[in-house]
Structure 1
Amino acid sequence: MTVPRGNPLWSVPLSALTATQERPIFSAMRRPPRRAVAASPVEDSPAPPPKPVEALPPLLLVGAVVGEGDAIAILVNRTDQKVVRLRQGESLGGWSLTSVQQREVTLKQGERSEVLALQRPDAAAPAGLPADAGGRPTMPGPIDPSSPFAPRSTPKNGESDGL
């Protein structure tokens, strides 16, 4: 058997290139190959509707008091911003308080259980916003656009501040 030199396609006979003969490359009549036809889909039963997203409890844990015989969770109702105190075993809005620990509480609604954790004081206010005594972010007061900012050359009390 002789091994051809040069282009490896020289060893392929033209009779093996039937697609090239049927659709010549440089012909003005050249068209793309026919698309494959997909089989008709088998009719299936409709997909079940998506499971509705269950709402989280509308409560935010702001404190927990754990004593020897009693445990109380201090929560803020997110819908009306009112402070709510629940003892272990009490319910609010379909959610029952099942356990109270130092930094978290567990609420249960039917078979569903949610754990609310007490946020750290440094994570309570977003960076850059001043916070009040309770750690809640406060917004700065209105700015009067008619009075431009003018830095003082001397301190308010008239004494030099050493700068």
Structure 2
Amino acid sequence: MSKKRKSTSDASTPAVAQLEAAGIPFQTYTYEHSSDHMDEGYGREAAAKLGIDPSQVYKTLMADTGSERVIAVVPVSGRLNLKELAAAVGAKKARLADPQVAQRESGYVVGGISPFGQKTRHQTVLDEGALHFDHILVSGGKRGFDVAIAPGDLLQILDAQTAPLAEH
């Protein structure tokens, strides 16, 4: 069963704390996370349990360019094009970061990595398809917890850029 609520002053995760400190409007969505049947991924589980189109639910991935790690925010309905990500950040190539590195540097567990409130700040690139929506959902910093935010606000608070990152 899913539950939807508006944000409160209870900063339950570093992601929520960052959004509240910035005065950015957002909504939180919670659902009962289940580790059963995770073949399609955490983001698809969120979309299904919340009844939201998977093209509007975004996953946060960490990639390594060899000289730095970067954050890619892409729809759960697609795959990250690593060549496009590398081009967007001026690198020759990129590969997904080791999950242990992603957890350590973000401060979140895999399946709950939010682009907001990370322990180590990284350059962030949002798939340009997000700009077609009034709001998108991204992880709020733990499994079973998402935040809905306007793409423009995400770009502003993270000083992020857009690029054509998703392959469908």
Scaled to the shorter chain, the TM-score interval is under 0.3
Normalised to the residue count of structure 2, the TM-score between the two structures is 0.20
Structure ranking higher on relative contact order (CA contacts 8 Å, 6+ apart): 2
Structure with the bigger percentage of strand: 2
